[in-house]
Amino acid sequence: MKRINFLLLAITVFLFCNIKCGYSQSQKIEPNWNSIDSRPVPGWFEDAKFGIFIHWGPYSVPAWSPKGTYSEWYQYWLESKSLFGNGNFTGTEVFDHHVKTYGPHFSYYNFGDMFKARDFDAEKWAKLFEDAGAKYMVITSKHHDGFTLWPSKTANKTWGFPWNAMDIGPKRDLLKELEVAVKKTDVKFGTYYSLYEWFNPLWKEDKEKFALEHTHPQFKDLVENYKPDLIWSDGDWDISPEKWHSQELLAWLFNESAVGDKVVVNDRWGDGVRFNHGGYYTTEYQSELDGSRPWEECRGIGFSFGYNANEDAWDYASERTLIYLLLNVVSNGGNLLLDIGPDANGNIPPIMQDRLLAIGEWLKVNGEAIYGTRKWDRACQWSKKGKKNWKPEDAHYLPADYILKQTIDPEPGYAVREIFFTKKGSDVYAIVPKWQKDSLIIRDMKVSENTEITLLGTSIKIDYQQKGKNVILEVPNLSPDELPCKYAYVFKISSLR
């Protein structure tokens, strides 16, 4: 009998693990979208809610582009004499800056030697990620310039010269150092990987050949030697998934690689794939999706993803703004992937560290309302009067401070999000961006006879009453020093009907 019970327990644990991971190794993924899309996104990703993006590479040496543009695109702006982003540009700003600063004959590839990473300390980075409350991180193992943070023989072969962090610049396997440090923590290790490379000779000669002879072997080398928990694919849009042979590559990843049963992937695998196929959906400097599928919003603390020395203190989102952005994304069932840009020596700018640590302090008090939650029947409660969803006009990328206009600083004639909601089981978390001085009315909510309402971070039980379709909370009169945190406050409403 004991043996039978042990066997049943083992089967139960096995089934639970497969449900939690969202995938069973017995399921063979075929190289087509129907099969790939049938693979659930592993459960840890939807529970994580907050991740840190890191853009770091040779572009961190010049660390410059006009405000409202991406500095990690420095090489492309330089060579193409074009720009896009938020603002009006002539297109030659980066080219003109480059010639003035480095001279007309200075090649972008010289920045590879100048990218020294002399102060890079993987252990300190990993601790910062933990202290920020992040549950995963994603670093640019290779951006569109083709430079790899690991010793890639494929990079050297197709470029025809050393173009990786082991052979030039730092002369270190930066990716391995970070992988080892992060995997000592509870933070998941993710790698951004660009499928294409702007000026790789093979890419310019034959794109499909580049996919098969460069991207595929390099991608497999990355996966097998660094075993990422998440792969953030990008640079996919120039050719179709058929020419990328993405379905075959993903089938290999899920069926044959060392991380096939647990790895999370996004939706950037070829022209027309995004928001349609792959893994979770990705937005970039947008507001929210409907939460019907796992998704993630990425944006920088400043505007640029890579470090941009041209940005001033006021170009960085405030602590309050970042917390409200997190609330908006999570209440809509998504994750926030917030970017930092270290400098060429591997130092994370103090202003970025401060912002991350402020988020971490808020999450220490209120993480219960974020981690492991899902979207409730509505993401927020709007004020009764005014138009919803204010956004600035003519902005290519949505600035971070839009969320302030939708919460505490509305434009005339516009409504605000009075309450954000998340849920966990039968419990709902009502998160208010303004501390209420008397009562808080939650419309269209039904409590049960077992419902209790508490204020996270305190032992305070909140008195309430059901009045028709509404629940009215009697908010205690607390001084600023008595409040459990800053910027946003969480009422846990247990055992809803």
**pLDDT digit string (tens) for 305-351?**
999 999 999 999 999 999 999 999 999 999 999 999 999 999 999 99
CATH code for position 234 = 3.20.20.80
Residues 165 and 44 in one domain: yes
Q: Please, which pLDDT band fits residue 437 given cuts at 50, 70 and 90?
A: confident
Is the pLDDT at 113 greater than 70, yes or no?
Answer: yes
The answer to whether 58 and 76 are in contact (CB under 8 A) is no
One domain, residues 426 and 448: yes
pTM of structure: 0.94
241 and 196 in a common domain: yes
Of all residues in the chain, the percent with pLDDT exceeding 70 is: 95
pLDDT score of 34 more than 70 = yes
Task: Say if residues 323 and 366 touch (Cβ distance below 8 Å).
Answer: no
- Cβ contact 39:267 at 8 Å: no
> Can you list the positions of beta strands (E) in 410-494?
417-424, 427-432, 439-442, 453-455, 463-467, 470-474, 489-493
* C-alpha–C-alpha distance, residues 493 and 497, integer Å: 11
Whether the predicted pLDDT of 7 surpasses 90 = no
Q: Say how far apart CA 179 and CA 48 lie, in whole Å.
A: 18
**What's the sign of the alpha-carbon dihedral 147, 150, 154, 157?**
positive
State which of 345, 369, 393 marks the end of a domain.
Answer: 369
Is the pLDDT assigned to residue 16 strictly greater than 70? no
* SS3 category, 131: helix
**Is 378's pLDDT higher than 70?**
yes
pLDDT of residue 313: 96
The boundaries of the domain holding residue 432 are 380-493
Say if residue 333 is in the same domain as residue 448.
no
At residue 284, does pLDDT exceed 70? yes
Query: Do both 386 and 296 map to the same domain?
Result: no
Identify the CA nearest to 97 among candidates 73, 115, 77: 77
Give the strand order in the sheet containing 463-467: 439-442, 470-474, 463-467
**Number of structural domains found in the chain:** 2
Whether 18 shows a pLDDT value over 60: the answer reads no
Quickly tell me which residue has 């070829």 as its tokens.
270
Do residues 228 and 203 share a domain?
yes
Q: Are residues 67 and 126 in the same domain?
A: yes
Residue 15: the pLDDT is 47
336/409 same-domain check? no
Residue 159: pLDDT over 80: yes
- CATH number for the domain spanning 474: value is 2.60.40.1180
Q: Round the average pLDDT of the chain to a whole number and report it.
A: 95
Are 238 and 271 a contacting pair, CB within 8 Å?
yes
- Asked if residue 424 has pLDDT above 60, the reply is yes
Mean pLDDT of 93-103: 98
pLDDT of residue 89 exceeding 70, the answer is yes
Q: Do the bridges between strand 439-442 and strand 470-474 make them parallel or antiparallel, or are there none, so unpaired?
A: antiparallel
User: What are the pLDDT digits (tens) for 185-215?
Assistant: 999 999 999 999 999 999 999 999 999 999 9
| pLDDT at 26 (0 to 100) | 62
pLDDT at 261 over 90: yes
- 135 and 109 together in one domain: yes
User: Which of these three, 325, 342, 369, is where a domain ends?
Assistant: 369
